[in-house]
Structure 1
Amino acid sequence: MLRPNEVRLALAEGRTVYGLFCAIPSPSLVEMIGCAGYDFVIVDTEHTGVDPQELENLIRAAESVALTPFVRVPKGDSGAILRALDAGAMGVVIPHVQDAETARAAVYASRYAPEGMRSLNSGRQPGFGELVLTEYISRANAEIMVVVMIEDKQAVEAIDSILKVPGIDMVLEGAADLSQSYGVPWQIRHPQVLDALAHIAKRSQAHNVRYCAIPRTPDDHSAWLEQGVRCFVLGEDRSVTARALRAHLNIHRSAEGS
């Protein structure tokens, strides 16, 4: 059954929340992310192949450890938005939102009338009949978050029109693709990219829309905190796991020479 969106609640109370992208579609790994103390997980179905049943189980795993589940859907796929929400996601992350029209379509697919036209369903989310459907509709519109990713130069230039779209709850930066859009692939600390991120954050604050940063260093994290940012994605499970495995092995290899 639909639960309160703890991320939305925490941000409304001024608390800081931390999340992680999940690109390894394993329920056990999702549980680990929750047990490690993260507040939310973004299951990545844009770059990772995840079937509908598998997605439900990943979301169930998140729910079992009080981890708020979000799903990043493929670009421009309203059907994927519907399936993610019907599976139990408390938010959808929309990649490569370049204009107000794309943002409006995402809200339209994510919310029930009168805010949108999400297809009605009486399955998992309303508790298979445990929750009155009219009540579920109202709660879903209030709890579920629509997060737009700004990953293109065109989107930076159109940021004000995007942020004016009713129903956008948060902006998530996408520095990697932004760097490519500015002609400097993977140079995420290039001045043009940093200026773009600062502009996105500033305009988000002006429109009273939450900004979610992806800090690459502790100094990045501190700087965003000083600017009032309270939502952070700390990378992806694949890179975090790979670094941990290398560090674990290096500890033992270094002992060989001691």
Structure 2
Amino acid sequence: MFNFKPSISEQVLLGTFVKTPHPHIIEVLAIAELPFIVLDAEHAPFDRASLDVCILAARAHQLPCLVRVPDSNPSTVLNALDCGATGVQIPHVCTAQQAEDIARMCHYGERGRGYAGSSRAACYTTKPMAKHLSDSKAKTVVIAQIEDPEGVENIERIAQVEGIDALFIGQVDLTVAYGASSVNDDRVTQASIRIIEAAKASHKPVGMFVATAEAAKQWAELGVQFFCVGSEHKMIIDGFKREINVMNS
């Protein structure tokens, strides 16, 4: 089960971003035996209905399903978690205070996530409140995505925030923010290494987006433990281009 609690897994996990808001693609990815997926509600056309049905498909296949939400508004986070997502990935986390606010809104408690016993996450009123509260606390995964220079500068404090279960390096956004022309720019590399070291110091996993599994290998050696490799869109494009090249060779 894709669950960063209570300890860091020694196994490197390769998942992917999902851009297609339809349950069929979730079923196909489950057959591919991916250890997790991330529904990209930040950059793909997911609404509440499509999130709901895609999360349902993932749960039906016991496929751990995170949601990269478009913002850190409480209602946005609540939507994903009530639908039964394994956890959420929050973009543009820049300060420890922001991380603390995010951790609180992802969990039940004073000034935290609003409680509803009628949601899928609560088994539609059939799970006792104490059990649902306990399960949510133990299993909900909260990932802070670091993709701004401000977030890098504050990363040591962000990593220490209780309730933030993992960090995720957004190298593409960092590339743009630093005015670099490539993710291989030294500024992006050094920022990524700083995030990895902060995660290690706080005994938390760190993830990253990469275009290919080959690119993941070097970062895994540096301590990155989970990767979103491309997306189903990229896999479709690459797969058919490869077949076309075979025919034309």
TM superposition score normalised by structure 2? 0.92
Residue equivalent to 1:117: 112
Kept after mapping to 2: 8 A contact 1:56/1:87:
yes
Residue equivalent to 2:172: 176
Partner AA of 1:119 in structure 2: G
- The offset of 1:39, in angstroms, is 0.6
| Alignment partner of 1:233 is 2:232 | no
- The offset of 1:152, in angstroms, is 0.5
2:198 to 200, 203, 206: 203
Residue equivalent to 1:126: 122
Residue equivalent to 2:183: 188
Alignment deviations for residues 72-125 of structure 1 (CA, whole Å, 9 cap, x no partner): 1112322110000000101100001011121112111100116x6100011211
Using a 3 Å threshold, how does the CA distance of structure 1 residues 162 and 12 change in structure 2: closer, same or farther? Answer: closer
Residue equivalent to 2:63: 67
| Alignment partner of 1:86 is 2:82 | yes
| Alignment partner of 1:142 is 2:131 | no
Partner AA of 2:71 in structure 1: K
| Alignment partner of 1:151 is 2:147 | yes
State the alpha-carbon separation in 2 of the partners of residues 173 and 129 from structure 1: 37
State the alpha-carbon separation in 1 of the partners of residues 108 and 88 from structure 2: 14
| Alignment partner of 1:101 is 2:97 | yes
Give the total of aligned pairs: 248
State the alpha-carbon separation in 1 of the partners of residues 207 and 198 from structure 2: 13
Q: Which consecutive segments of 4 or more residues in structure 1 shift more than 6 A?
A: none
Residue equivalent to 1:77: 73
Kept after mapping to 1: 8 A contact 2:5/2:165:
no
Kept after mapping to 2: 8 A contact 1:11/1:17:
no
Alignment deviations for residues 151-201 of structure 1 (CA, whole Å, 9 cap, x no partner): 00111001011112111101011000001111115x111111111111110
Paired residue secondary structure (2:65): strand
TM superposition score normalised by structure 1? 0.89
Partner AA of 1:170 in structure 2: A
Identity among equivalent positions (%) equals 28
Using a 3 Å threshold, how does the CA distance of structure 1 residues 217 and 53 change in structure 2: closer, same or farther? Answer: closer
**Higher mean C-alpha deviation, range 172-181 or range 205-214:** 205-214
**Higher mean C-alpha deviation, range 207-216 or range 80-89:** 207-216
Paired residue secondary structure (1:21): strand
Residue equivalent to 1:42: 38
Partner AA of 2:159 in structure 1: L
State the alpha-carbon separation in 1 of the partners of residues 103 and 6 from structure 2: 22
What is the root-mean-square deviation in Å for CA atoms of aligned residues? 1.9
Name structure 2 gaps, 5 residues minimum.
Answer: none
| Alignment partner of 1:51 is 2:47 | yes
Name structure 1 gaps, 5 residues minimum.
Answer: none
Residue equivalent to 2:158: 162
State the alpha-carbon separation in 1 of the partners of residues 154 and 183 from structure 2: 21
- The offset of 1:13, in angstroms, is 4.7
State the alpha-carbon separation in 1 of the partners of residues 68 and 220 from structure 2: 24
**Higher mean C-alpha deviation, range 215-224 or range 84-93:** 215-224
- The offset of 1:216, in angstroms, is 4.0
